[in-house]
Structures are given as C-alpha cells and as structure tokens.
Structure 1
Amino acid sequence: MDEARRATAADADELVRLRAVLPAHMSGRDPAGDDWRRAAADMFSVATDPDQRRRGYSRQCVTALLDWYRDQGIMAVFLRASEEGEPLYRSLGFTRTPDPAMRLRLPQA
C-alpha cells in the first residue's frame, strides 16, 4: 500500500480531475468523459462592505461570474449562502439543497 503524502504542483491535473468525480457521480455523468473539468463550479467569499450594500454590486459581480461560467460550459454552481445573501442567490435561480449548500443548474445554449 502506498503512503499518503502532501500534494505537490505535479499533482494539480489529478486533483482537478478528482474534484469533478463527486458532482459527476451525483448528476449521473461519466467523470472520465471529455467534459469532466466542467462538471461544476463553486463560489466562495462573496462579500460587500456594509456601507456599500443594497446598491447592486454583489448582483453585478455574481451575474458576471455566472455568465462567465456559462461561457465555459459549467453545468452547475455550488455555494454556501449567508442568511443575508440567500435572497440574492434565490433571485438568480439558486435553490436550496438538502445540505446547507445552494445549487444553480445552468442551461446550455
């Protein structure tokens, strides 16, 4: 049996491939297909300075990111929303999942 070791830069391609295995499995897709890198994306740390809230900045940023994800062929987006942020994500089409995450399935053009 091999010993566990810390990942290195040389492991990057395999780590990215493995990152797609769970979402691919959950969606019923074959993670070994050509589109395994595009199974899903995550959004992290969307925040707005308290003095700048309610001006549409987060909506603009998130909408631009979602547009970019669509252009890249991403099929689903996952995030963990704060109570304050959840109305924004719901308005963009995200839905609550059984765990605390929310997911948006992007229709492909």
Structure 2
Amino acid sequence: MVTDREFRQRGCASVAVSRLLEWFREADALTVSLTASPAAESLYRRLGFSAEGPKAFSIRLEGGSRG
C-alpha cells in the first residue's frame, strides 16, 4: 500500500489497514504478515504488529473460531 504524499499524516493508511484487519478477523484469519518500509514501521507497530526480522511484521488475531 502506498499513500500519496498530499494525503500522508491524515490517518488514511491507519484506517485502511484497520479495516483490513477487521476483515481478516471476520474471516477467522489467525495471522497477518507483511513487509514494511522503514517509513511505515511506526504505523504497523501502533496497530499491534511486531517485528519478526528485517522489515517483516505480523499480528496474531484473537477471537477467531480457529484460535
């Protein structure tokens, strides 16, 4: 995902990723993994992702029927 410069720092990416995480939870996904640019690392950390190596982040989704 990329946010156009004129729309950065307005919460667009945060809303988009939060909604995607809701969708994954509703689909009973257990883990979401992604590769992040250094500029986006703080966004993903704020949303609950944790680092698992260079630029690799994931989040464990609680409450799914399989977890």
**Shared fold per TM-score greater than 0.5:** yes
Instruction: Measure how far apart 1:99 and its partner are.
Output: 4.7
**Pair 1:94 & 2:49 matched:** yes
Report the count of equivalent residues. Answer: 64
**Pair 1:60 & 2:15 matched:** yes
- CA offset digits 1:52-100 (Å, max 9, x no partner): 1000000010000000000000000000011110100000010000353
Q: Which runs of 4+ in 1 moved over 2 A?
A: none
Larger Rg: 1
**Pair 1:47 & 2:2 matched:** yes
- The residue that corresponds to 1:38 in the other structure is none
SS of match in other structure, 1:48:
coil
Instruction: Measure how far apart 1:106 and its partner are.
Output: 0.5
User: After the TM superposition, which residues 9-24 of structure 1 pair with which residues of structure 2 at under 5 Å, given as runs?
Assistant: none
Alignment TM-score, normalising by the size of structure 2: 0.89
For structure 2, the 5+ residue unaligned runs are: none
For structure 1, the 5+ residue unaligned runs are: 1-45
Alignment TM-score, normalising by the size of structure 1: 0.56
Q: How high is the sequence identity, in percent, across the aligned residues?
A: 38
CA contact (8 A) 2:31 2:58 kept: yes
- The residue that corresponds to 2:27 in the other structure is 72
Q: Which has a greater percent of strand? A: 2
Counterpart of 1:54, as a letter, is: Q
